[in-house]
Structures are given as structure tokens and as C-alpha cells.
């Protein structure tokens, strides 16, 4: 397997320049360095793929004469990944430029949203009958001192299955 010396030299130069540019703090240079390293990697994969042969899809040659399609798939995948990361870096560069040149590029609080948020904080959660049934009953110390008066028992928080307060006979009907 022989590698063209020109392609190897181009790959080395691309890697060197790309790494040098990626070490800079400027985002534009980082983007250019990333693109150079991506292209150098594609060139490396191309050089390592071996000699050229017939196309494997056509099938007119023997297996030894066909090109390996795997490096081509790697290069296509690397191109797509490089494109995606480059688009992300461009978005970062644009956002950085906007923040540096536009002093009003801050998110302002919306007065209507603040009012709604304050209103939502004041509302209470709706209490259902099941919540009341599961809640422990509040027993006041005064209720122990005066049994039968209902003092200390919170009738509003009593479970729904509790008998009415006026039922003293225990048969479920309220006495008059």
C-alpha cells in the first residue's frame, strides 16, 4: 500500500494548523481549526482505506478487486458530524457577537407573568374529601377537659364518613 506523499503532507498541515487555531480563545478561530481538523481526519481515513478497486455494488469483480465501502461510510458520517458541530459553533459565535454588541440583549421580566406567578403562589390546593379522611384529626387539650361539648374538635376537618354532630343515639338519625 502506497500513500501519495502530497496527501500525507496536506493532512499533516491541516492537523497542525487546525490544532493551532483551536488553541486560541477566539471562537471564529476555534471554528476554523475544527473544520481543518475535521477535513484532516477525513483525509486520514481516505488514506488508510487502501487501494482503489471496482465498486462493490456493481459486482463485476472478485472480492479482492472491490473497494472497501466502510471507509467511505466513515467519511460520510464524519462529514455530517463536522457539519452539525460547525453549525453549533456558528450559533455560539453569533450569540456571542450579539451579546458583545447589543447591550439590550437581556431577557426582561414581563409584568403580566410576574402577576400571574404571584397569584398562583397565593392560591391553595383544592382539598378533597379523601384528603380530609386521610388527615389526622386535631385533638385539643380543652376537649379532654370538656367531653361532649365538641370543644377542640374541628368539625370542618372531620371526615365525610363521620356521623353528624347532632346524632347522639348512634343509629344514624339525628335526634331533635
3-class DSSP assignment, residue 23: coil
Give me the number of domains the chain comprises.
Answer: 1
- The whole-chain average pLDDT of the chain stands at 77
CATH code of the domain in which 77 resides: 1.10.287
* 118 domain-assigned: no
* 136 domain-assigned: no
User: Is the pLDDT at 176 greater than 50, yes or no?
Assistant: no
Q: How many CB atoms lie within 10 A of CB 16?
A: 13
* 144 domain-assigned: no
Range of the domain at 85: 5-56+63-102
Report percent pLDDT > 90 for the chain.
26
Alpha helices in 25-103 (DSSP H): 27-48, 69-101
Over range 78-89, report the average pLDDT.
92
Here the cell at position 27 is 471562537
Using CA atoms, how far apart are residues 58 and 68, in angstroms rounded to an integer?
Answer: 13
* 145 domain-assigned: no
* 162 domain-assigned: no
* 153 domain-assigned: no
Query: Is the Cβ–Cβ distance between 18 and 33 less than 8 Å?
Result: yes
Looking at the whole model, is its pTM more than 0.85? no
Residue for grid cell 403562589: 121
* 123 domain-assigned: no
Over range 166-174, report the average pLDDT.
48
* 89 domain-assigned: yes
Amino acid at each position: 500500500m502506497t500513500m501519495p506523499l502530497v496527501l500525507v503532507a496536506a493532512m499533516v498541515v491541516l492537523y497542525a494548523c487546525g490544532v493551532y487555531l483551536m488553541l486560541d480563545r477566539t471562537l471564529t478561530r476555534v471554528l476554523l481549526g475544527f473544520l481543518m481538523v475535521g477535513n484532516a481526519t477525513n483525509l486520514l481515513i481516505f488514506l488508510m482505506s487502501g487501494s482503489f478497486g471496482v465498486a462493490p455494488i456493481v459486482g463485476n469483480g472478485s472480492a479482492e478487486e472491490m473497494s472497501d465501502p466502510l471507509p467511505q461510510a466513515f467519511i460520510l458520517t464524519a462529514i455530517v458530524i463536522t457539519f452539525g458541530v460547525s453549525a453549533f459553533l456558528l450559533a455560539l459565535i453569533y450569540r456571542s457577537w450579539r451579546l458583545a454588541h447589543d447591550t439590550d440583549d437581556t431577557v426582561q421580566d414581563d409584568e403580566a407573568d410576574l402577576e400571574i406567578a404571584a397569584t398562583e403562589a397565593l392560591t391553595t390546593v383544592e382539598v378533597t374529601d379523601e384528603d380530609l379522611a386521610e388527615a389526622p384529626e386535631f385533638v385539643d387539650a380543652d376537649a379532654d377537659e370538656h367531653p361532649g361539648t365538641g370543644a377542640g374538635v374541628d368539625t370542618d376537618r372531620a371526615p365525610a364518613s363521620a356521623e353528624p354532630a347532632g346524632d347522639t343515639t348512634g343509629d344514624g338519625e339525628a335526634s331533635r
